[in-house]
Structure 1
Amino acid sequence: MKKLTYLLPLILAFIACDTTKDDVVEEEIIDEIPIIEEYGYTLNDFNVIRDTIRPGDTFGVILDANGVPQHKIFEVANKFKDSFDVRKIVVGKPYVLLNSKDSLNTTQVFIYETNKIDFAVVDFRDTVNCYTDRKPIRFQEREASGVITNSLSQTMEEQNLSPYMTDRLANIYAWTVNFFHLQPGDRFKVIYTEKFINDTISAGLEDIKAAYFEHKGKPLYAFNFETDSVKHVADYYDEKADNLRRAFLKSPIKFNFRISSRYNLSRRIKYYGYKLRPHRGTDFAAPMGTPILATADGTVTKSERRGGNGNYVKIKHNSTFETQYLHMKSRNARVGQYVRQGDVIGWIGMTGNTGGPHVCYRFWKNGKEVDPFKEDLPFSKPLPVEFHEDYFAFISPLREQIDCIPF
């Protein structure tokens, strides 16, 4: 009896732990499928095909191979040219097909990316619809700084900054800093905005809000200020509200050029028997296809090809100054067009009388051709006084912020 009393707790414990398979309830774990939304569609509802335009591809070929009826393809090609011209799809551009989730796998939506941000949509469901749209963009303010050791572009690369930053800074300081003769130890700071697509993909530099450049020990501030919020007219001014731009750029070429022939009224050339052949322009030699820039704001008065000038453009800036750009490969300006300083008006070529790729830059003052490098050219107009109060209030926190950025 004592023996059974001793074993009784063990027997009861065994009975309590003896469960059958029927008593076990397994909780089924179901992974939730994330909802993917892009281009305004829920991609989970389709079979998604991503590809790029290949050589030989056409809009019709792509859609025909994916079950879209010919009459719908023709409708898009003929009816929606203004929103999406199917003839202008470019090799290498990405596109997306949203196909039906059935055995036919027919394309219901075609999406063509014109660039990183903009895209065109052709929806074949029910009534054919075509429209353009943009991916969501977020702007993030960022800061950067650097010390020049070799060149500005190399310093930008070392800092993992956009190559467009070099171009933007060169434009801002075009008349105050010679970027072809930077010195080791020159340094810069920038406050800029960067674009992001869908919050994660960088779409590059948007704008420089403020900059500081120290060249040969001289500090140079620049603040981007908008004077017309309707037309979005903005310019860069220093801490005293003076415009950083001259009325004219020093050169119609940005980078990678050399002056191959200067303005010289006493020029004599051996090939022509040392006869007097005045050169009333300045030749800027550069590789074929290099962009040629308008050196100042103005209205195009001539854009044609004629004789020794080849392809050329002439611009009237005001009642005093005119400029002319000769030997272009092709022109990018039409008569009557108003161009801004820095606009691309053509590309370096060899048309007309020329022995190599260059642009002959001619400069008129009061109807007479002169040497622009010997002229005391005016600065652009300073910020009008009526904007001063707003301007100084606007730049005060920016200056404090940029002064606090370490090199």
Structure 2
Amino acid sequence: MQLIARSIALAYNNLPRPHRVMLGSLTIITLAIAVWRPVAHHDSEDDYPEKSIVKKIQLDSQQASSSLPEQANSLLPEASEPLDQPPPAADIPQDELDDKTENEQGIHEYVVSTGDTLSSILNQFGIDMADISTLAAQNSELRSLKVGQQLSWTVNDEGELQRLTWEKSRRETATYDRTDQGFKASMQTMAGEWQDQVLKGTLDGSFVSSAKAAGLTNAEIGAVVKALQWQLDFKKLRKGDQFSVLMSREVLNGKNEQSQLAGVRLRSGGRDYYAIRAEDGKFYDRAGSGLARGFLRFPTLRQYRVSSNFNPRRLNPVSGRIAPHRGVDFAVPMRTPVLAVGDGEVVVVNNGGNAGTYVALRHGRQYTTRYMHLSKALVKTGQKVKRGERIALSGNSGRSTGPHLHYEIWINNVAVNPLTAKMPRSEGLNGSDLKQYLATVRQIMPQLTL
């Protein structure tokens, strides 16, 4: 070894002075790199089109564990969702109309539309495919859903399906309850008499109090609000505004058992607003045009790669506990324009916390969208926005380890999968459906006098 060292030293001393200086410098640089090695973030070049930004996230005392390896403190993009972010009801201002538009606690509702199947309906709300398959296999009649029928269901705290109710007609309802062997079906048939009733009123105070004074129940008030939600802001109605509501009610032994909104007319500021129910269970104007405002599928100008999917039963890889991922993460570059997916009102602009800078929009009375980990909000609370309008720039704020956009959609305060959710569409009726609807309009219109 000593002989080798003397040979290297002799060869080094025989080199010209410039060469010795260069070789010595390279040796020092090499030793410095060996001692100080920066932490590398192993993302592919496709993950983030612009330069990646890596952040260290300090876990709280409940999440940190001595059994976790040290590198767990540096979260991966797949673990960067706003853990335990509360539902919209916790941070979005509520009013008395919300009490009338939300479903009964824990019950989710859906009206069957064209192209729907049991699987496509339940899966967008995060129901496990294994439960859906078991339910359909044991009850084959559920494969014959019809447009306009209503489904409602309940889940437990783990998001597992517990009961499904299928209103096959106004008289016949099927219920499927979870058992150890799967789902047990039962049938209920109502024997009451359906009667049409017109309820009229004039605003003196809020719409809710005025509607109650006219004889509408809470559920019926909620139905009216949902039917007209895209046309007007109920909070801006004025004293003296008038309304006329046609309800179809089932009367059994002198009591109203259930009801269905057939049509409504509301006059505000000298203008009339109408919503009339069609056979598909949706509401249209007098000409058969859709009332809902269409939504964009994605909150960006183009579709980006999904880095983390919607998963309401997700097991967080860092904390080891259930932390629902109630939206999708898009791997977008820093400061990518974020768009409002539909017409609505800005109800939250927040900075700080796990979600970082985030914006929440309310669309009508049923739909809420949230956009998180932003670098900058471009809107203010209370501002009205249009579909496609820029509301923010994407970023890496809050609990995040790389630039991305976390995007959520909530329907009736229930998170749905933004990639598969059936969003409102502004399309109207046509063909035989329009002809049938216009015949219904001619029957209902004379009853909605003020």
Q: Could you say which TM-score interval applies, normalised by the shorter chain?
A: 0.3 to 0.5
Where is the strand percentage greater, Structure 1 or Structure 2?
Answer: 1
TM-score normalised according to structure 2 size: 0.36
Of the two structures, which has the highest relative contact order with CA contacts closer than 8 Å and spacing of 6 or more? 2
Larger radius of gyration: 1
